[in-house]
């Protein structure tokens, strides 16, 4: 099992145990598995994190902003 560690300004903000075969969304929307509230430049659904060929990938799904 993989673990995703999210840092904000260099400090650990949260960590998520990634389950094989599951996808995760990060953003401001309350339905996102990884909430990124109150951060300038973050879309409601900003990133998708998923597994492909046993490798975890973070993909930008927002039309604006960056990874």
pTM, two decimals, is: 0.84
How many helices (H) and strands (E) the chain has is answered by 0, 6
Cβ neighbours for 56, distance < 8 A, ≥ 6 positions apart: 2, 4, 18, 49, 50
What is the tens place of the pLDDT at every residue in 21-64? Answer: 999 999 999 999 999 887 788 899 999 999 999 999 999 998 87
Yes or no: say if 10 and 36 are a contact pair by the CB < 8 Å rule. no
Nearest alpha-carbon partner for 36 in 57, 16, 17, 22: 16
């Amino acid at each position: 099992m993989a673990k995703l560690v999210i840092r904000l300004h260099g400090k650990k903000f949260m960590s998520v145990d990634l389950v094989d075969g599951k996808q995760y969304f990060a953003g401001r929307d309350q339905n996102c598995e990884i909430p990124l509230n109150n951060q300038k430049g973050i879309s409601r659904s900003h990133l998708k994190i998923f597994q492909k060929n046993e490798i975890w990938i973070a993909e930008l799904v927002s039309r604006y902003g960056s990874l």
